[in-house]
Amino acid sequence: MPTSTDLLDRLLDPVGRALSPEAARRLIALRADADAQAKMDDLADRANEGLLTPDERAEYESLVAATTLIAILQAKARTVLSHTPAV
């Protein structure tokens, strides 16, 4: 049975096919800023220790979902670039 990540990957196929090489490069380069990364790291550490409040857990789950989405889009962008002739 497909996972939700597998389904998300399939749903995003048209987006991946629509990426220009330049958009793909920009998407691959996308990174969280230092403050956002520190917040995500803190929530992840506290989640692993079982110390999140219900609101923090909801925030953490939203961030995990967003990073999964970004990772799938970045993988699709790499596929675009792997099929683009070098210039």
Beta-carbon contacts of 47 under 8 Å, excluding residues fewer than 6 positions away, are 57, 60
Cβ proximity of 19 and 80 under 8 Å:
yes
> Which residues of the chain carry a pLDDT beneath 70?
87
Position 2 scores a pLDDT of 77
What is the amino acid identity at position 15? V
Position 85 scores a pLDDT of 80
The string of pLDDT tens digits covering residues 2-16 is 788 889 899 999 999
Position 87 scores a pLDDT of 62
Write down the pTM of the prediction. 0.84
- Conformation bin of residue 32: beta by default, left when phi > 0, alpha when psi is -120 to 50: beta
Position 41 scores a pLDDT of 97
Position 65 scores a pLDDT of 94
